[in-house]
Amino acid sequence: MAIIANPKTIDLKDVQGMITRGYGKLYETAYFLLKVEDKEKAKEWMKAMIPLIDSADISDHSEKTIHLAFTPEGLAALGMSKENIEGFPVPFREGISTQDRNRILGDWGENDPKKWRWGGHQEGFHILMIFHAKDKESIAAFLQEEKDRLQNSGGCTLMREMRGYLRPDNKEAFGFHDGISQPVIKGSGRPGPENDIIETGEFLLGYKNEHNQFPFSPLLKKEEGNTSLLQDDAAGSGKKDLGHNGTFMVFRQMQQHVDEFWKYMEQNSLNPDGTPNEEAKIKLAAKCVGRWPSGASLVNFPDKDPGGSLENDDFGYADIDPDGLRCPYGSHLRRNNPRDAFRWYDKKQSLKITRRHRIIRRGRTYELPPENGSDKGEIGLHFICFNANIELQFEFIQHAWANNNQMRHLHNDIDVIIGVPDEKNPKANHSGFTIQAEPVNQFIDHWERFVTIRGGEYFFFPSISVINYLTTL
Ligand code: HEM
């Protein structure tokens, strides 16, 4: 597949940088959850933040970045009227943890939001502040500066601080190279494989999406604030658009049970004499993920990890692996983006469908020290993704692809990495994993979940001019 040009048509200076950039050299991250205490002082503080927010324009790239995201309660606390908040899409307004969303996402049992340490409307926080810096020393100084600024402003209190990091080899906690498959936003100026260049409106509000329509964007219903800072609705309603150049952000704190994951892989790949087989263990884990630990694709390297650091995302399944003999149908990669290989459709039609369910992932690893008398700390992924339509993108992927045990040719299988069975399924406590093989498939039974949700929320991730507008409410 050819790498094609992607001319710049978006005003990148107005787009918060994290949407188009992973900040691969800024290894340290932090997240502040803030509560607005004094509206006017909080808006003064936000005004001072605006020049520090990193935009998606490459000329803005700095060694320390700040991004801001908001909950509906946050918009209200800054003075937005009920009428205008009601213009936002339902998932954002309701938040991540309604009864229906819990069912769709699989947030029951150990994943139940009542057990989360943050989010799900528990603490009523308003603003999420995201920091990136290159190392531990620079982030510590950066956070201290911003804590002092927050305190001096008197506008917001810091309710929770979380830290994260990117390993220099880009590996997540199970040991697999992450962050390789990413869609490229059409109009962002970044070239990419043809099938990865996706219509702007899948990731930014105010532009046409893969349905050739404008995504549901919050239009101003009631005049308030300095509306000259807002763009007109691109769909032509004559209203002002609060969403233009912004998007929605999903944040899930996902604990990874690394020892259990590898123990399971070992026990299900033993030699005939019962001794561990290291090579078979890694191969089984790679079949579950859909890439080797190095990041190499199973489609291109079906037998062995070539090693090194392979970031190739330029492949499909339909021609080279239609029967899943290289990369299993049920692997994390193939489930979460089946690319050109829906079995019911031809390649073109498959791609048309999958292009409507892509997300931009910006997850990073976190670690926590042991607590409550436990001798073991916690490790996991601060999963973050951007999408213009939470229901059609993140929720669809988690529900219809990762948690789906009804896929053709599979037997009660769900995504081994992130899948959660239906609570009402009598076999809910254990699931299987099918590896397509000749002459017969291999079926691995009885794995427990290797990931537990510990927190999360949906956020509005506005354009820089809309952040400015919020300070005028
Ligand atoms: C602890 C949780 C998770 C882990 C350890 C994990 C790990 C990985 C790894 C190792 C890859 C391959 C690297 C790459 O292609 O970039 C990947 C790809 C991917 N993951 Fe996850 N992931 C997690 C959570 C999620 C969640 C919650 C979703 C969405 C609901 C998701 C969606 C995807 C998608 C869409 C891809 C790319 C597929 C493609 O385009 O081929 N992941 N993940």
**Residue 221: how many other CB atoms lie within 10 Å:** 15
Q: Please indicate, yes or no, whether residues 242 and 276 belong to a single structural domain of this protein.
A: no
Which residue has the CA at smallest separation from atom 12 of ligand 1?
178
Cα 110 to its chain centre, rounded Å, is: 21
* pLDDT band with cut points at 50, 70 and 90 for residue 466: very high
pLDDT digits (tens, 9 = 90+) for 69-120: 999 999 999 999 999 999 999 999 999 999 999 999 999 999 999 999 999 8
Residue 394: pLDDT band (50, 70, 90) is very high
Residues 319 and 376 in one domain: yes
At 11-60, the pLDDT tens digits run 999 999 999 999 999 999 999 999 999 999 999 999 999 999 999 997 76
Q: Same domain, yes or no, for 226 and 368?
A: no
Residue 210: Cβ within 10 Å count: 21
Say yes or no: 402 and 423 in one domain.
Answer: yes
Do 193 and 149 share a domain, yes or no? yes
The one-letter amino acid at 15: V
Do 212 and 270 fall within a single domain? Answer: no
Based on the domain organization, do 192 and 270 belong to the same domain? no
Residue 1: the pLDDT is: 63
Does 398 contact ligand 1 (Cβ within 6 A)? yes
Q: Choose among 111, 116, 126: nearest CA to 455.
A: 116
Say whether both 226 and 308 belong to one domain.
no
- Cβ burial of 11 (10 Å; 0-12, 13-18, 19+) is middle
Report pLDDT for 410: 83
Residue 33: give the domain boundaries: 3-249+459-470
Looking at the structure, do residues 270 and 230 belong to the same domain, yes or no? no
Pair (107, 226) in one structural domain: yes
Which residues touch 406 (CB under 8 Å, ≥6 apart)? none
Residue nearest to atom 11 of ligand 1 (CA): 178
416 lines ligand 1 (CB under 6 A): no
Q: Are residues 274 and 189 in the same domain?
A: no
Regarding the beta carbon of 293 and ligand 1, being less than 6 Å apart is answered no
467 is written with which tokens? 């952040």
- Cα 408 to chain centroid, rounded: 27
Query: What string of DSSP letters covers 313-362?
Result: ----STTT-TTSSSS-TTSHHHHH--TT--TTS-HHHHHHHHGGG--EE-
Kindly tell me if the per-residue pLDDT of 409 is higher than 90.
no
Q: Over the stretch 159-214, which tens digit does the pLDDT of each residue have?
A: 999 999 999 999 999 999 999 999 999 999 999 999 999 999 999 999 999 999 99
Q: For residue 203, what are its two tokens?
A: 């990731």
- Average pLDDT in the chain: 94
For ligand 1, atom 32, name the residue with the nearest CA. Answer: 336
**Domain count across the chain:** 2
Instruction: Compute the distance from residue 180 Cα to the ligand 1 centre, in Å.
Output: 9
CA of 238 to the centre of ligand 1 (A): 39
The CB of 133 under 6 Å from ligand 1? The reply is no
Q: Is the peptide bond before 439 cis (omega within 30 degrees of 0)?
A: yes
Using the mean position of ligand 1's atoms as its centre, give its distance from the Cα of residue 333 in Å.
7
**Mean pLDDT value of segment 278-284:** 98
Quick one: pLDDT at residue 271? 97
Contacts of 59 (CB under 8 A, 6+ apart): none
Judgement on whether residues 240 and 288 belong to the same structural domain of the protein:
no
Atom of ligand 1 nearest to the CA of 402: 30
